[in-house]
Amino acid sequence: MCGLVGFFNGCNLDVACPKKALNKCPSQSKQDSTRTFKNWDRKASVRSTPQRTEHFGDLLFPRELVPLLHSKKLVGLPKRDEENLRRSALFRFMNFTHKLEMLVVNTVTANIVMQRYNFSLPDQLRSDAHKIYVDEAYHALVAFETMNAMRVRGPKSLFRECVPNFLKQLELQINKEPVGRRKALIELFFVITSEMLITNTLGNVNKHKEMDESIRSIIRDHSADEARHHAFYRSLLIEVWDQLSGDDQIYVTGKLPELVLAYCIPEQEGLAADLVSLGLSKSESDVIIDEVHPPGTTLAYAMQVGSAVFTLINELSDSHSSDRLNESLAGMPKV
Ligand SMILES: [Fe+2]
Ligand SMILES: [Fe+2]
């Protein structure tokens, strides 16, 4: 369903295949992506949905999607403070979306379109990649317009446009790798895995009460587009896997758990800033963040949302890569 699910770590999600959004489970064949994009002109949110950013309501995120509001220490918080936490969480989500689409997904999607990887790809897949590029640019625009509307309403001090954690993690991994070809593989598989992460959360936004209807529509539109992207990136993974050398397959397999985990690490700095803005000390805020993200839960969440990718890699791989994947999963930090 896409890397956005990394943002929802701590929200008690239902994790499931996005087959509801597709009306079928993305099947095992490479042909899926082509069939899925056949009606893109009629179904893509950029082509078919009304302008959502003209009718904003209160611009509050639902309580269920704000992990800090699950803290026992914040029970009885004054309404104004609670609303500020919900506003800040919404802004952070839009910032996460904006940077994910512009700086990561569309960089890689453009490389696929322009054949910058050493893979031979069918023209149909490249054509579908153009459509994804348009979708993601639209998702980024909607996120940015939401952030702008929030900044206009204020309070501005609450809204920090920043580099999200997942991007810092990606840069760290790329910088650590000395070989140029493998730097590109890290970036490519970061996007493949992110677009294949699964949860029902984005598709289930109807169940959340007290949610701004514009935001509900924005998330629902995005979710429907991402179900198509899931099928595309699954097909792409199948297409390129056999074109990788055995060594690169083992290398990529060993990296996958880290890549998935990178999406799920909480935005600690932003959460701490929110709590400090309520008048709490740094140490009090650390205690609350530990309470809502106890050790081990981020890893458990990452492994759940990444299960579709891990299963597919196991199906595609020989025993060397599968062993490497299991080794890497077993060695993940218990964050
Ligand atoms: Fe997207
Ligand atoms: Fe996507």
d(CA 14, CA 228): 20
Torsion, Cα of 316, 172, 228, 230 (10° steps): 30
**Is 80 contained in some domain?**
yes
**Is 81 contained in some domain?**
yes
C-alpha 35 to ligand 2 mean position (Å): 17
**Is 160 contained in some domain?**
yes
d(CA 88, CA 24): 36
Whose atoms come closest to the Cα of 132: which ligand?
A: 2
C-alpha 3 to ligand 1 mean position (Å): 8
C-alpha 97 to ligand 1 mean position (Å): 7
Selection from 110, 137, 122, 119 nearest residue 47 by Cα: 137
Tens digits of residue pLDDT in 88-118: 999 999 999 999 999 999 999 999 999 999 9
**Is 150 contained in some domain?**
yes
Q: Ligand 2 being an ion, which residues bring their Cβ within 5 A of it? A: 2, 226, 229
**Is 193 contained in some domain?**
yes
C-alpha 334 to ligand 2 mean position (Å): 28
Between CA 262 and CA 273, with CA 268 as vertex, the angle to 5 degrees is 150
C-alpha 211 to ligand 2 mean position (Å): 23
Whose atoms come closest to the Cα of 138: which ligand?
A: 1
Mean pLDDT value of segment 261-283? 95
What pLDDT score does 87 carry? Answer: 96
Q: Are 49 and 225 in contact (CB under 8 A)?
A: no
d(CA 283, CA 278): 13
Cα–Cα distance list, 257 to 189, 192, 303, 332 (Å): 11, 13, 8, 7
Between CA 321 and CA 107, with CA 30 as vertex, the angle to 5 degrees is 75
What pLDDT score does 28 carry? Answer: 44
Q: Please state, rounded to an integer, the average pLDDT across all residues of the chain.
A: 90
Residue 23, phi-psi category: left (phi > 0), alpha (psi -120 to 50), beta (remainder): left
Helix, strand and coil percent figures for the chain, each rounded to 5: 70, 0, 30
Cα–Cα distance list, 20 to 17, 196, 221, 262 (Å): 8, 15, 14, 27
**Is 17 contained in some domain?**
yes
Whose atoms come closest to the Cα of 137: which ligand?
A: 1
Q: Are 105 and 197 in contact (CB under 8 A)?
A: no
* Residues spanned by the domain of 319: 3-330
Please give the distance of CA 133 from its chain centroid, rounded to a whole number: 16
**Is 335 contained in some domain?**
no
Q: What is the CATH number of the domain that holds 203?
A: 1.10.620.20
Count of structural domains, the chain: 1
Tens digits of residue pLDDT in 211-255: 899 999 999 999 999 999 999 999 999 999 999 999 999 999 999
What pLDDT score does 17 carry? Answer: 46
Selection from 108, 85, 284, 81 nearest residue 193 by Cα: 108
Burial class (CB in 10 A: 0-12, 13-18, 19+), 41: exposed
Please give the distance of CA 245 from its chain centroid, rounded to a whole number: 28
Tens digits of residue pLDDT in 130-166: 999 999 999 999 999 999 999 999 888 899 999 999 9
C-alpha 227 to ligand 2 mean position (Å): 8
